[in-house]
Structure 1
Amino acid sequence: MMNRRGILKAVAAGSAIAALPVPTLAQSFPTVEEVLFDPAIPVIGNPDGDITVAEYFDYQCPFCKRGHKELMEIVRADGNVRLVMKDWPIFGAVSVHASSLVLASGESYEKALNALMATPGRLGKEEVDSVLSESGLDPSGLLAAFKSDQARIDGILARNMDQANAFGFGGTPAFIIGIRIYHGAMDRKALEAAIATARES
């Protein structure tokens, strides 16, 4: 398992790693169970849904943020989708900080996630803390919660990074819908079609 220093080093080299051809990565291909049913990652939507959507994302990715509200609307309207947000903090230490606090937020996970995904553009550490505070959360309390749960959270980030590299993702967002891989941003029509295709498979 990659330690936190290793994660930060990998983040710094993220674009170069992701650009490598898959065979160069010399790692095993992740299983459907590992990708879609990681018990350490919270589930949004219907935990017993018939289709799982997994999004590899970064809190500083403008394309991730642009599509997030629509994705959430689709999950709510469908009623039978499991949504698993796969933190892949490739934009540096601030992204790691944001992921760490949100993953430590427990029952407030969805609230924290949505608050940061609603922000425009790039973020600084102070902005992350301010946005969470404005949404009614305590950043210092979340940091303390992260420190007490660091092994689980660092494990999530390491597994997500390994999976994204194994799939050859060139950046965020990227999706697994059912058992199909989708590179890049997806609008409402594309997401709904992908979910329908997964149900037909």
Structure 2
Amino acid sequence: MTVTRRAVLGGGAGLGIVALGGIGLSRFLRSSAPDADVHAVLFDPDQPVLGNPQGDVTVAEFFDYQCPFCKRGHDDLMAEVEADGNLRLIMKDWPIFGGASVIAAQMVLGGVASDDYLGAQAALMATPARLSEDDVRSTLSAAGLDPDVLLGAYGRDRARWDGMLGRNAQQAAGLGLQGTPAFIVERTIHAGAMDRTALRRAIAAARATD
């Protein structure tokens, strides 16, 4: 595959946004978040891209490296991207579970410069949900990566990455997201976790409306 904060909400951060399931993104943006923009959410120029960069459908996931629901569904998500071959996937870091989530996001984004983004992300998404900074470091080290090198690379491109993380948080707020995971499939928000069947249906629906 090619790689091109808001405070935690009490009790419900991992449960997603049930009330918004399936709502049309453009309609929601017009009615509730005039400052948000569909293109800005899906095509941030600083955002690493997985899957097919020219895919006909874009899937975006707002996620956190400590979110158990994000992790449970990650293998299915990546398998569907691989099997479909025409999906453009963006993983929008939204580190709402605390400091370990922030450092995890920073280290993985630091891997973009050395083409280690996908490997670092896969390693952390395969861990149990809750992490300490030591857990993040040991997981990446076990995957053959140097956490300090990754963090140094992040620091050298801090303006880019800090800007992107800030935009992700602003977009999540503008969309009314209340937790992770939250998926956007083209112009439709899907609240909470999605299994592979639900993901396929959402993708098919997006293609049917093109």
TM-score normalised by the chain length of structure 1: 0.88
Structure 1 residue 153, shift from structure 2 partner = 0.9
Q: Does 1:145 align with 2:153?
A: yes
Aligned counterpart, 1:3:
none
Aligned counterpart, 1:159:
167
Q: What is the rounded CA distance, in whole Å, between the counterparts of 2:191 and 2:40 in structure 1?
A: 19
Structure 2 regions of 5+ residues with no counterpart? 18-27
Q: Does 1:182 align with 2:184?
A: no
Residues 97-127 of structure 1, C-alpha deviations (whole Å, 9 max, x = no match): 0001101101111111111000012000011
Residues 80-100 of structure 1, C-alpha deviations (whole Å, 9 max, x = no match): 000000000000111010001
Bigger helix fraction: 1
The equivalent position to 1:128 in structure 2, one of 136, 145, 156, is 136
Q: What is the rounded CA distance, in whole Å, between the counterparts of 1:121 and 1:38 in structure 2?
A: 27
Instruction: Note the 1:2-41 alignment, pairs <5 A.
Output: 10-11=5-6, 13-15=7-9, 28-41=34-47
Q: Does 1:88 align with 2:94?
A: yes
Structure 1 residue 27, shift from structure 2 partner = 6.2
In structure 2, relative to structure 1, the CA distance for the partners of 1:150 and 1:27 (3 Å cut) is farther
Q: SS at the partner of 2:190?
A: strand
Structure 1 regions of 5+ residues with no counterpart? 1-9
Q: What is the rounded CA distance, in whole Å, between the counterparts of 2:177 and 2:123 in structure 1?
A: 26
Q: What is the rounded CA distance, in whole Å, between the counterparts of 1:166 and 1:61 in structure 2?
A: 21
Residues 125-176 of structure 1, C-alpha deviations (whole Å, 9 max, x = no match): 0110111111111101011111111111111111111111111111000011
Residues 6-57 of structure 1, C-alpha deviations (whole Å, 9 max, x = no match): xxxx44x2427x99xx99xx96432121111111111100000000000000
TM-score normalised by the chain length of structure 2: 0.84
Q: Larger relative contact order (C-alpha < 8 A, sep ≥ 6)?
A: 2
In structure 2, relative to structure 1, the CA distance for the partners of 1:33 and 1:153 (3 Å cut) is same
Instruction: Please give the root-mean-square deviation of Cα atoms over the aligned residues, in Å.
Output: 1.9
Aligned counterpart, 2:76:
70
Instruction: Note the 1:93-132 alignment, pairs <5 A.
Output: 93-106=99-112, 107-132=115-140
Q: Tell me whether 107-116 or 56-65 shows the greater mean CA deviation.
A: 107-116
Aligned counterpart, 1:59:
65
Aligned counterpart, 2:52:
46
The answer to whether the Cα contact below 8 Å between 2:65 and 2:129 also exists between their aligned partners in 1 is no
Aligned counterpart, 1:170:
178
Q: SS at the partner of 1:49?
A: coil
Q: What is the rounded CA distance, in whole Å, between the counterparts of 1:122 and 1:29 in structure 2?
A: 33
Percent identity over the alignment is 56
